[in-house]
Amino acid sequence: KQEVTQIPAALSVPEGENLVLNCSFTDSAIYNLQWFRQDPGKGLTSLLLIQSSQREQTSGRLNASLDKSSGRSTLYIAASQPGDSATYLCALGGYQKVTFGIGTKLQVIP
C-alpha cells in the first residue's frame, strides 16, 4: 500500500525566499508524480507532472525532482511571492490508483 508523507505540514517564509517542499513515498512502482496547488475552498491546480522515467521538471519559478530509489520528490519554489500562498499536494500515480499526500500549507509573508 502506497504511503505518501509531506513535510513540513506548514511553512511560513518571508517574500523573496527560496524554499523546498518535500514528499516521500513508499512504493516506487508508479507511472508519474504530480504536484498540485490547492487554494482554500477551491479545486486542485496541476503545477508539474514528472513521468516515472524522468528526474525533474521545471516551470517558471518551480522545479520538481523525483528520486524513485529513495522514494522522494521535492518541489523547489524560487523567489517566493505572497501569491504562492496555498497548500501544495503531491500525488503518486500508482498502478492501481492515485495516492495523495496531505499537503504542505505555505504562507509567504509580504
Q: How far is the CB of 3 from another protein (least distance, A)?
A: 11
The reply to whether 100 sits near another protein by the rule CB under 8 A is yes
Composition of the chain by helix, strand, coil, percent to 5: 5, 60, 35
Q: Please select the residue that binds another protein; options are 65, 85, 99, 104, rule is CB under 8 A.
A: 99
Instruction: Give the Cα separation of 93 and 8 in Å (integer).
Output: 22
Cell numbers found for residue 12: 511560513
The region of 17-25, 43-51, 66-74, 78-86 touching another protein under the rule CB under 8 A is 43-51
C-alpha distances in angstroms, 2 versus 5, 10, 93, 98, 99?
A: 10, 22, 10, 9, 7
Does the footprint of another protein cover residue 62 (CB under 8 A)? no
Q: Which residues bind another protein (CB under 8 A)?
A: 4, 31-32, 34, 36, 42-46, 49, 51, 89, 91, 93, 96-103
